[in-house]
Amino acid sequence: MNEQISDPRPLLDVGNTLPRQHPCENFALPSPPRPSDRKRMGPRPCPVCYVPVEEAIARMPHIPSPSPVLWNLTYVHEENPVRTEPFGGSEFGGYPSLKQRNDSFDVKESMNVHCGFVRGRKPGIDSGFDIDDSDLLEMEQCRGVVVASAIFGNYDIIQQPKSISEDAKQNVCFYMFVDEETEAYMKNSGSLDDRKKVGLWRIIVVRNLPYVDARRNGKIPKLLLHRIFPNARFSIWIDGKLELVVDPYQILERFLWQKNATFAISRHYRRFDVFVEAEANKVAAKYDNASIDFQIDFYRSEGLTPYSEAKLPITSDVPEGCVIIREHIPITNLFTCLWFNEVDRFTSRDQLSFSTVRDKIMSKVDWSVSMFMDCERRNFVVQRCVGAHGSSNCCSGKDSSSTNVT
């Protein structure tokens, strides 16, 4: 049975082309720090050129970007999915077989793929990751830009967005997903008002979480926003530990519309090779070593090789995945569905599966992910130092600066 949700077939490629002279065209990033400049070493923000909010809004494309090859995307629905192979993900993901996994990378004009929420009659209802009907109805009304985040396990303190324009406050949907534990803490602390809001954030309580691991639960809204916001055009995902300090319209203009991109993510500031990233995850005990080794060995058997200059213009195989900027069109929706399926099948460390999914899709269609520098990412989101339980959770990047061009 197929869920009757599909992406509209895009029309002509108009409205996405910038004027010949963009205000930020001549803006240059600063040079890397000198080895002797110890105070400037390590991860930090760098200046980014943004156009004023009004101009950014004016540059929003009027129609969806073209989706190469893929025009119609639907999603697998099974009321009682059955595991048929020793490893194949979860009930929430539908236990896709290896054949189904491999077929999902063969991009065609019309496709039906596993994409979470397999048991539910619609995402958020009787599917795991369940959301109240009234909240789902409100989320369906978000037809423009959504900024989303999540806190599960009451681990992080909600950070309020700053430097947000009145246009964005009125027209951008700000949604924070929380579990019942986090909701209880917010009620006890008095931070949740009668409108289910904390500042700009509209709070959505999620019940019946499908995974024991809070980090894996967090990958559902992170990668499957197009399923729970079926009418949104653009989205910005930020991890719950981060504070947004630049207007969403300026971010979208800078990283999508200015570059004619449909998916943007920053690359890791230090690592760009999946094999190196896997070893770093093992050293930091991010996941059990055997599972990481199994995943990497599987990818190696499929042809994954260490990163080298032969992959240029691709600049990295490892993203810093705490921020995702995307347009919701069939090809980007397929990308995040298949990325989620890898997280469901293997480890929750999405940095390990990113390049495999990207490269398999790129081998079939003329599409790519825009990977920008991590110092640029640190310009528009800031990580604060203390979690909800008092734990140190700090990184550099508080002195972010930006340039507005008039």
Question: Which residues face 382 on adjacent strands?
Answer: 243
Question: Quick one: which of 106, 123, 109 has its CA closest to 5?
Answer: 123
Q: What pLDDT does residue 390 have?
A: 43
268 secondary structure, DSSP code:
P
- Backbone φ/ψ region at 94: left (φ over 0), alpha (ψ -120 to 50), beta: left
SS3 content of the chain, % helix, strand, coil (to 5): 30, 15, 50
Q: Is 224 helix (H, G, I), strand (E, B) or coil?
A: coil
pLDDT in tens, 310-363: 999 999 999 999 999 999 999 999 999 999 999 999 999 999 999 999 999 999
Amino acid letter, 291: S
The whole-angstrom separation of Cα 151 and Cα 386 is 14
The whole-angstrom separation of Cα 393 and Cα 398 is 13
Cβ neighbors of 33 (< 8 A, separation 6 or more) are 40, 41
pLDDT in tens, 6-28: 444 333 344 445 455 788 888 87
Question: Quick one: which of 207, 237, 233, 217 has its CA closest to 323?
Answer: 237
- Whether 156 has a pLDDT exceeding 70, the answer reads no
pLDDT in tens, 53-95: 999 999 999 999 999 999 999 999 999 999 999 888 999 999 9
- For the segment 371-396, the average pLDDT, to the nearest whole number, is 70
The whole-angstrom separation of Cα 219 and Cα 273 is 22
Q: Is domain 130-383 in CATH 1.10.3470, yes or no?
A: no
Q: Provide the token pair at 193.
A: 């008002």
Exposure of 189 in the CB half-sphere (CA atoms within 13 A): 13
